[in-house]
Amino acid sequence: MTFELLGFRFRLQATWILVLALIVLSLAALGGGVDPAQPDDPLRWILGVGVAALFFISVLLHELAHAFAARRQGVEVGEITLLVFGGNPRLGREAAGPRAEAVTALAGPLASLLLGGALLGGWLLTRETAGVAGLLLSSLLWWAGMSNVLLGSLNLVPAFPFDGLRLLRALLWRLSGDFLRATRLATYVARAAAYGLIALGLALALGDELIIGIWLALIGWLLGQAAEGAYRRVEFSTLIEDMLVRDVMESQVAVVGPNLTIDTLVQQHQLGGRDSLYPVTMDGLLVGTVDMAQIRGVPRAAWPTTRVTDVMKRGERMSTLTEELTLPDAVRRLEETGAPALPVVAEDDGRRLLGMITRESLRRAIRQRAALRQGDA
């Protein structure tokens, strides 16, 4: 599920349904401050739903604080995947310096802690309020305040995907002056914390807390893998940050016409085509693209009478690159579209085809760049 808010695009993970349901059921069962002598009191369910809604809003505000801070630092913010204890924004590039990195990372936890403090302050003012409404309000403020304090505090832990790892990286970046080295050192710390969690989990599992121990060990392993994956992504971005689309695009491109039938396209592809996406041109100008995956949606019996123009992407649905675009931006565009390849067009004329970037051409260029870097080292 995706939605837009204040100029930012959010993607909601399906696990949120389970988490919110668990919050509602837990508070309905425990009472959450509502009279425990009345287990069937509907206020328990109202409280559970209210706290679940406020928790979701809290995570959303946490990520909005990150997004506005990043934008203020000049970093473009793409789609933000909302996780239970924060989010994973797709940034257009890394922060320009350690200060910008620290400001962006700190914005989320700070917003959560301030909001938590304000809500707990409201709880202090309303906890003595008489009546059902007063009890419900004070309970809502207590649980919402504590969840924000927990959210802000937990995100200061130096482990991925928490913001504490980015704060640690900003400090190490400031001290070392090397972003990649700082990322690597921060990864070591995150992995050490993950291994510590695994050790604690195994110790508990060997004792009397088998289930809790297994969960802690699993969480530790996942955090370690996530930290290593985060470093690999930064290493990859650093490797290609100064490369442009024109450096890796293929100039010789197989094109098809819009009036070609689908059965003929499939035959030509099977005979010699290795690309699964073809630019569609008319009179030498790009008018669309056709992906072989699109053909699967056409019944086989209709192939002889269905033409490329009937299924191709055109206009705003067609994604293209320009040769002066940076390679990291091109990689992000490929990830966003999920396309196997993208056509490269002239900067001043979006219909003039210059070449193509495929995933294979990207892999080849990256291998060559990595080999050169190792040779220089």
Residues marked active site are found at 63
Using an 8 Å Cβ cutoff, are 185 and 172 in contact? Answer: yes
Helix pair 179-206, 210-240: axis angle to 10 deg: 170
DSSP annotation string for 61-123: HHHHHHHHHHHHTT--EEEEEEETTEEEEEESS--SSHHHHHHHHHHHHHHHHHHHHHHHHHH
- Pairs from 104-107 (Cβ < 8 Å, separation ≥ 24): 104/66, 104/69, 104/70, 104/73, 104/75, 104/166, 105/66, 105/163, 105/164, 105/166, 105/167, 105/170, 106/69, 106/163, 106/167, 107/65, 107/66, 107/68, 107/69
Contact 279, 343 (CB under 8 A): yes
222 — phi, psi (to 5°)? -65, -40
Residue 333, both tokens: 């565009």
For 294, residues 6+ apart whose C-beta sits below 8 A from its C-beta are 311, 312, 313
HSE-CB for 138 with a 13 A CA cutoff: 16
Widest CA span of the chain, in angstroms? 81
* Distances in whole angstroms, Cα of residue 15 to Cα of each of 21, 52, 81, 90: 10, 14, 12, 19
| Spatial distance between the Cα atoms of 104 and 316, rounded to a whole number of angstroms | 32
Token look-up 């959210």 returns 151
Q: Which residue is listed with tokens 């069962």?
A: 29
Q: Which amino acid is at 376?
A: D
DSSP-derived 3-state class of residue 11:
strand
Amino acid at residue number 18:
L
Residue 281 DSSP one-character state: E
Which is it for strands 321-322 and 341-346: parallel, antiparallel or unpaired?
parallel
